[in-house]
């Protein structure tokens, strides 16, 4: 909005010329989202406590989690609010990709809100059934895949990191591929969000990496130089990624160990859906395996655990899945698990950045 209000005035007030620059608006979108979370955080924590929206802890979890019972949750409402406000303030609102990512963020946030509401407020232990959750996620993801597919400028080719000349064109099949990326990422972040700051830390790292990818993909000269796909208009998504990272930092202030609030499914599903959609729009879908490598590792640990459990009639690979619980049960203190997982996330994100040159 500020872009539309202030940039046109740059002829009279030359300082307003700065609003044309995506870098400037990305920085301030990040700071705006951070400040909204930082300032409203205490009020949200108090509100959730007052409404008795406290975390229900399953019996079969690690012993160390039982002291967490009653921790305010659904802090994802604050994350989503700060991301949407900051994005509306700082982006070019005529950009269709901005509205697509906002639609997914809000839509997946609603799915998570319903799940949290049923679980935490209605005390229905399971929340939304896995099937209903998947159906709602699929609806939004397929609509999103369709919207990018119908954009004439959007390529349905899939690019592979390190292998420049492998880029199969999926044509209409891209809609299902995009949906798979969005749904998969949303559920991966959801599974990872099981320790204080464990999901939001790597999420900040991933959204910072995609801030760079969105900027270079939207800059025709840089995209050509780096030999990555040029996506006209994706530069504005860098501003959205800035808001994601800033909001994540603001939430981490309260979610760091010992957490004063959890994000809830309203946060984890929304954030995962948002970053998955950004990966689709910036044409860095496969790279998400690296950028969001920690989310992939956590999800694979569950897939292998459940698969092995079924095949061997009850034997386990890990002490407990997802992987963070395995290290907890090995005796690692929670902060040690969290920071070491962050270190792995940073290393994977740096490796993903190197693919911009290594092709
Ligand atoms: C999302 N939710 C946390 C919090 C957060 C198939 C299986 C892997 C599914 C998985 C599952 O239930 N995943 C759901 C993970 C939960 O966090 C809430 O959920 C929101 C995110 N969706 O915002 O509101 C618990 O995580 C802890 N937590 C923190 N700090 C945070 O900042 O300490 C969360 C955020 C919270 C709190 O204790 O209650 C979760 O873990 O449920 N299931 C599991 O992960 C379970 N693993 C399991 O069943 N393993 C089996 C299977 C794979 C065969 C096995 O290994 O044998 C574990 N989770 C729980 N109890 N709660 C273990 C059992």
Written as six digits, the tokens of 37 are 């979370």
Pocket of ligand 1 contains residue 74 by CB under 6 Å: no
Q: How far is CA 300 from CA 176, 202, 260, in A?
A: 21, 16, 29
Find out whether 202 and 345 touch, Cβ atoms under 8 Å.
yes
Q: How high does pLDDT run on average in the chain?
A: 94
**Which residue ranges make up each domain of the chain?**
2-354
Q: What is the H or E stretch that residue 310 is in?
A: helix 293-311
Centre of ligand 1 from the C-alpha of residue 269, in Å = 14
Pocket of ligand 1 contains residue 73 by CB under 6 Å: yes
What is the best residue among 44, 193, 323 to mutate for testing ligand 1's pocket, by most ligand atoms within 8 Å of CB? 193
For residue 163, what pLDDT is reported?
83
Mean pLDDT of 300-304: 97
For residue 125, what pLDDT is reported?
62
Over residues 26-57, the pLDDT tens digits come to 999 999 999 999 999 999 999 999 988 888 88
Max CA distance (Å), the chain: 75
Over residues 206-257, the pLDDT tens digits come to 999 999 999 999 999 999 999 889 999 999 999 999 999 999 999 999 999 9
CA 270 to chain centroid: 7
Over residues 112-166, the pLDDT tens digits come to 999 999 887 766 667 788 999 999 999 999 999 999 999 998 999 998 888 878 8
HSE-CB of 3 using CA atoms within 13 angstroms:
21
Residues of the chain with pLDDT > 90, as a percent, come to 80
Pocket of ligand 1 contains residue 321 by CB under 6 Å: yes
Cβ density class 86-124: b for 16+ within 10 Å, e for less = bbebbbbeebebbebbbbbbbbbbbbbbbbbbbbbeeee
Pocket of ligand 1 contains residue 61 by CB under 6 Å: yes
Q: In ligand 1, which atom is closest to the CA atom of 192?
A: 15
Mean pLDDT of 180-197: 98
Q: How far is CA 137 from CA 132, 179, 251, 291, 293, in A?
A: 9, 9, 24, 22, 21
pLDDT band at 357 (very low <50, low <70, confident <90, very high): confident
Pocket of ligand 1 contains residue 58 by CB under 6 Å: yes
CA angle at residue 218 from 31 to 245, to 5 degrees? 25
Q: In ligand 1, which atom is closest to the CA atom of 269?
A: 22
Q: Is the pLDDT of residue 316 over 70?
A: yes
């Amino acid at each position: 909005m500020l872009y539309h209000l202030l940039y046109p005035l740059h002829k009279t007030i030359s300082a307003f010329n700065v609003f044309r620059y995506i870098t400037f608006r990305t920085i301030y979108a990040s700071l705006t989202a951070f400040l909204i979370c930082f300032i409203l955080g205490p009020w949200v924590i108090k509100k959730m406590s007052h409404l008795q929206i406290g975390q229900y802890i399953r019996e079969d979890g690690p012993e160390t989690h039982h002291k967490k019972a009653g921790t305010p949750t659904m802090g994802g409402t604050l994350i989503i609010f700060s991301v949407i406000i900051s994005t509306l303030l700082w982006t070019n609102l005529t950009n269709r990709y901005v509205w697509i990512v906002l639609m997914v963020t809000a839509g997946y946030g609603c799915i998570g809100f319903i799940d949290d509401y049923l679980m935490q407020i209605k005390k229905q232990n399971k929340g939304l059934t896995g099937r209903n959750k998947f159906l709602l996620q699929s609806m939004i993801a397929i609509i999103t895949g369709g919207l990018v597919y119908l954009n004439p400028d959007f390529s349905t080719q899939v690019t592979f990191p390190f292998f420049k000349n492998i880029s199969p064109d999926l044509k209409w099949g891209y809609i299902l591929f995009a949906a798979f990326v969005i749904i998969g990422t949303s559920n991966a972040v959801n599974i990872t969000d099981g320790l204080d700051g464990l999901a939001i830390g790597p999420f900040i790292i991933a959204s910072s990496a995609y801030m760079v990818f969105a900027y270079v993909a939207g800059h025709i000269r840089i995209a050509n130089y780096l030999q990555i796909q040029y996506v006209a208009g994706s530069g504005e998504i860098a501003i959205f990624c800035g808001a994601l990272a800033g909001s994540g930092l603001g939430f981490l202030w309260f979610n760091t160990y010992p957490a004063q609030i959890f994000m809830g499914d309203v946060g984890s599903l929304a954030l995962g859906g948002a970053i998955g959609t950004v990966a689709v729009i910036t044409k860095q879908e496969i790279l998400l395996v690296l950028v969001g490598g920690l989310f992939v590792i956590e999800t694979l640990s569950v897939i292998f655990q459940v698969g092995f459990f079924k095949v061997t009639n009850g034997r386990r690979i890990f002490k407990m899945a997802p992987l963070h619980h395995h290290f907890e049960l090995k005796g690692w203190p929670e902060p040690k698990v969290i920071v070491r997982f962050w270190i792995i996330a940073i290393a994977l994100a740096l490796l993903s950045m190197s693919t911009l040159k290594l092709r």
